[in-house]
Amino acid sequence: MLVRDADAERGWPPLDTGRPPDMDGVLVVAVDLDHTAGDADLLDERERARVARLRGMELTRRHLAAHSALRRILGWRLGVAPGSMDLATDPHGKPFLRHGTLAFNLSHSGAWALVALTADGVIGVDLEIGERLREVDQLATRVFDSAELAIFRALPSIQRRSAFLTAWTRKEAALKALGLGLPGGMEHVVVAEDPVRLRGDFTRLPALRDLLLRDLPRLAGGHAALCHGPRGRAVTCVRWPTDGTSREAQQLPTRLPA
């Protein structure tokens, strides 16, 4: 069943971090980046270097908060210190744990981040909030196949942006689950005609047969989707507890640790 409309309070109940984590199923954690402190000491050298290259106070602060939250959530799930985990990236840039079978994925947009976790298998999540993707009519010709494009163009113009973002997040979540990212080809992940079961170009992406695609509850008016496999896993959506830090009170270090 698709979850189409839910605000953060109803669709993302708070997570009780005092209880042991459920080791089965899929967990998706929403993080309020404007009320979550970033901590460069939790990141490794590669991650700190990336933060240092960012431009703009708000972008840098939110990126640091998102990746700090990822470490805290992984640490809570694994029962280890947040800064103790050894993360690496695959050839397509997707991060993974060097040791263990826990699979995870991170997406952040605007003031929110999503962290998706599963004990094994593959997982991808995507979140789009705000106006980053504006020229949807032009972008549609690059990310839709012919059938999807016909459906999109038949929509009233007022409905096209929402429809495009729904499809975009589904496609990107699927490609991230496969570890391909956008270069994997959004036009090869066909989702418009059957929104629950994931269809695609199986000649090029045969692994799509084993994945399940879901829309996630709305956050800040944005769109979000989850793709995971194997099938048959329950999905739980929760909010990570804020630490009481306000956006105005957050301070970036004048120089990130090397």
* Six token digits for residue 147: 């059938």
pLDDT tens, the chain, 258 aa long: 233 334 445 689 999 888 877 778 899 999 999 999 999 999 888 888 888 898 889 889 999 999 999 999 999 999 999 888 888 888 777 888 988 889 999 999 999 999 999 987 899 999 999 776 678 888 888 888 888 888 889 989 888 888 889 988 998 998 898 887 666 577 777 765 554 556 666 666 777 778 888 899 999 889 999 999 877 778 999 999 987 655 544 544 434 443
What is the reported pLDDT for 217?
A: 93
Instruction: Say how far apart CA 99 and CA 80 lie, in whole Å.
Output: 13
Beta strands in 18-130 (DSSP E): 26-32, 87-89, 95-97, 103-109, 112-118, 122-128
**CA distances to 18, 29, 189, 252 from 232, in Å:** 27, 19, 21, 42
Per-residue pLDDT reduced to its tens digit, 79-121: 999 888 888 888 777 888 988 889 999 999 999 999 999 987 8
* Six token digits for residue 118: 């599963």
Could you tell me how far CA 8 lies from the centroid of its own chain? Answer: 16
What sign results for the dihedral spanned by CA atoms 48, 50, 54, 60?
A: negative
Q: Give the closest residue to 229 by CA, choosing from 251, 217, 213.
A: 213
| Domain boundaries, given as residue ranges, for the chain | 8-239
Biggest CA pair distance of the chain:
53
Q: What is the pTM of this model?
A: 0.86
Architecture of domain 8-239 in this structure: Alpha-Beta Complex (3.90)
